[in-house]
Amino acid sequence: MEKRYGEKAIEEAQLEVWENPSPEKDYTISITFPEFTCLCPRSGYPDFATIRINYIPDKYIIELKSLKLWLNKYRTRYISHEAAANEIYDALFSILKPRYLEVIADFQPRGNVHTVITIRSKETTKGKEEV
């Protein structure tokens, strides 16, 4: 069966950046991705989360469509909540090199357990410092 155009776009997704239109300012960009999914590495059951990204850009900002498609690549991956949150943080920090970055992965309760993972860089206006 031939893959649909959306499946191809997700499979080929790469994070892309744009130049920050106001690099002289400290301003916060907040992004919410309410339909994040991945698969439990032990059971194979789907896990659902809201991913929140807050950052103060330096030279670059994330291109939103590339982020959406890239995050959708997780939907067929067997990965723990903690590993997914840390991978998202590491990828964004690496490509953006922001002045500040926070990633919050708020997973829906399953088996009466609610997990929230928060990863943030040190607050700075000079940037480049990571936890």
The question of whether 38 is a catalytic residue gets the answer: no
- Which one of the listed residues 26, 38, 47, 90 is annotated catalytic? 47
For residue 74, CA distances in Å to 42, 78, 85, 118, 122 come to 16, 8, 11, 18, 27
Round to whole Å and give the CA distance between 47 and 111: 11
Q: What sections of the chain are H helices per DSSP?
A: 5-11, 64-72, 81-96
Round to whole Å and give the CA distance between 36 and 71: 7
- Which one of the listed residues 40, 58, 90, 106 is annotated catalytic? 40
Where in the sequence numbering do the catalytic residues fall?
40, 47
